[in-house]
Amino acid sequence: MPIHSRNETSTDPNDRKHRLQRVASASLYAVLMLVALYTARTFIPAVVWAVVIAIALWPAFRWLERRPFFHTRNTLLAFLLTAALALLFVVPFAVGAAQTISEAHDMIRWFHGVLENGVPVPSFIDQLPMGSQQIAHWWQDNLAKPLESSPAVKNLHSATVVAMTRHFGGRVVHGFIIFGFMLMTLFFMFQAGSKLGAQLLAGSQRAFGSDGAALVRRMADSVRSTVVGLVVVGLGEGALLGIAYAVTGVPHATLLGMLTAVAAMLPFCAPIVFLGSALWLAAQGSMIAAACVAVFGLIVVFVSEHFVRPVLIGGSTRLPFLLVLFGILGGAETFGLIGLFIGPALMTVLVVLWTDWVRTSRN
């Protein structure tokens, strides 16, 4: 008995010492991690965007990685994929910028004409079935007169315009810097290849167990399906409405189609573009073409938003449509544009935790 008690008292201090060391090590790791994240906080959006794009393209990357030509050329494959993504983003932006610059002179001349003479009442207003006199009267009082005397125009002093220009220019430069670091991060992720995916799964399994690793896979599937649902459906809407623009005679149909595709990636934003195009056609007197663009656009958006997109996003992750909508809109409001892809992943976590809690309570 005395010997047994001495062994217990001799091992208890060692156990407490090891326990304190583990707590101190965990605290030190957490502090260092927080300091590292704070140091790199400016580039966290670039890393998050790179992770989202890598998750979305990972099945295609794994398929290419297994091809004989790329089997031992990970760096070449990473470079080609990164360059292709860069062109995918840069080319539409360059086309839009070139189109805008080429028409800047006409736009400036039109703006000066509006300031000096106002905007005349469109002819189609007289053809409206109701309210034409009230609309024409309001237009005559507010827009048909020279806009130089408008209080809103008077408030646009040169100093305000310069400040707005500098702010916009700074945001554009910051966006290009984040885009460049996102491409760099994405290149190194692709270069690491399958080793990176295996390490992430092994680390999540060691930290959270098999359930944690399964949850990480579900979140990755949710992000991937969200990217497919937003991007692919948006491109489809832009292509269909771009054809409608070209058929009905809307100018710059290709540019407007690309703008519609970008807007369609955001829920319920595509109508802003195609209804604006319909209004332009109506202002030119093409009432039938305007009605065709508006009706066709509403049909395309209705089918896409209520049938195609919920199936693509919620189908693989088994999320109800309402949670998909909450995740997309709530994520965009909370985290910005990147929240469109993070929100459904968080909703997936919520559903998994709820399912596990219900299953545990029944047992």
- What integer pLDDT is reported at residue 1 of this predicted model? 45
pLDDT tens column, 171-203: 778 888 888 999 999 998 888 877 777 777 777
Cα 182 to Cα 184: distance, rounded to the nearest angstrom: 5
Average pLDDT over residues 126-133: 71
* Residues 244 and 325 grouped into a single domain: yes
- What integer pLDDT is reported at residue 27 of this predicted model? 86
- What integer pLDDT is reported at residue 133 of this predicted model? 77
Residue 323 has pLDDT above 60, yes or no: yes
Which residues are CB-contacts of 78 (< 8 A; sequence separation ≥ 6)? 187, 188, 189, 190, 191, 193
What pTM was computed for the model?
0.69
- What integer pLDDT is reported at residue 106 of this predicted model? 65
Number of domains the chain is built from: 3
Residue 14 has pLDDT above 60, yes or no: yes
CB count, 10 Å around CB of 83? Answer: 12
* Residues 355 and 214 grouped into a single domain: yes
* Residues 64 and 154 grouped into a single domain: yes
* Residues 200 and 278 grouped into a single domain: yes
* Residues 260 and 305 grouped into a single domain: yes
* Residues 4 and 80 grouped into a single domain: no
Say which residue the tokens 């906080």 belong to.
Answer: 41
Residue 8 has pLDDT above 50, yes or no: no
* Residues 188 and 201 grouped into a single domain: no
In a domain, 137, yes or no: no
Give the helix ranges, DSSP H, for 253-338. Answer: 253-264, 270-283, 287-303, 309-317, 321-335
Residue 83 has pLDDT above 90, yes or no: yes
Could you tell me the CA-to-CA distances from 57 to 53, 255, 260 in Å, in that order?
A: 6, 26, 23
pLDDT tens column, 134-143: 777 777 766 6
DSSP secondary structure of 22-60: HHHHHHHHHHHHHHHHHHTGGGHHHHHHHHHHHHHHHHH
CB count, 10 Å around CB of 98? Answer: 11
Q: Give the domain range for residue 68.
A: 42-102+147-192
